[in-house]
Structure 1
């Protein structure tokens, strides 16, 4: 497995982010708020918003000295304050190398340090079987399927809800 590191986003990451994110195959597996085409301007806006939050909720995924993807989480509110939803993508040239599996493992380690978060969720489009396998490797289980819950590229898709529980410490 490759050595994966999660780092805080910096404006200097924008050009590399735009290169890996400007990819139709990635866009097809993420929410429509993810721009396509993905430009350096889009990357700078995203880094400006997400790179300054404290505590940090979004991280650049690095292998050695190369930016290869992004991973983060969104804390839920009120009675769901113990829940976070995670999301991630890996640049297509780096698919199939165990990077997403390792990045999720590292993010889970960070989330375990926060005693508030007990339930981790990931929502995956039905066509993204590779992401489902990555979640299974990290001991997520399929909680349910929301049938015909999303329309992506004019195609109705199911959303698979994957869940992992963290132990309170």
Structure 2
């Protein structure tokens, strides 16, 4: 993803398969020097709009590490809600963390 002609991060979506085929998982990363510019919020909005319009899905979820409160706020501002917390579900830099699962349903969109 680019902002002001600079590479600042990535966003992607994976459509699930089989009985989960109406759901997708979204992940994103913005480099620290670019935080606070609304880049993640705009990227999420564009990705969600594109995904619901393009693919036959009704649900998008995003996992967030327990320490990343800014990412949780960005998802909430974009219409996601906290569906669950998977306790001790991930390890990052040798630390075991909870994984917060944020969801947006197509039928609940504004």
TM-score by length of 1: 0.61
Q: Could you tell me which residue of structure 1 aligns to residue 67 of structure 2?
A: 127
Q: Distance in 1 between matches of 2:6 and 2:91?
A: 33
Q: Distance in 2 between matches of 1:87 and 1:128?
A: 13
Answer with 102-111 or 63-72: which moved more. 63-72
Q: Could you tell me which residue of structure 1 aligns to residue 8 of structure 2?
A: 68
Q: Distance in 2 between matches of 1:155 and 1:67?
A: 29
5+ residue gaps, structure 1: 1-60
1:141 matched to 2:62: no
1:96 matched to 2:36: yes
RMSD of the TM alignment (CA)? 1.0
Q: Could you tell me which residue of structure 1 aligns to residue 17 of structure 2?
A: 77
SS in 2 for 1:139: coil
Offset of residue 64 of structure 1? 2.8
Q: Distance in 2 between matches of 1:150 and 1:65?
A: 34
TM-score by length of 2: 0.92
Q: Distance in 1 between matches of 2:21 and 2:76?
A: 24
Deviations 1:78-110 (A, max 9, x none): 010011100001111100111100000011111
SS in 2 for 1:117: coil
Q: Could you tell me which residue of structure 2 aligns to residue 29 of structure 1?
A: none
Deviations 1:20-49 (A, max 9, x none): xxxxxxxxxxxxxxxxxxxxxxxxxxxxxx
5+ residue gaps, structure 2: none
Q: Could you tell me which residue of structure 2 aligns to residue 51 of structure 1?
A: none
Q: Distance in 1 between matches of 2:65 and 2:5?
A: 31
Offset of residue 114 of structure 1? 2.1
Deviations 1:31-70 (A, max 9, x none): xxxxxxxxxxxxxxxxxxxxxxxxxxxxxx2123222111
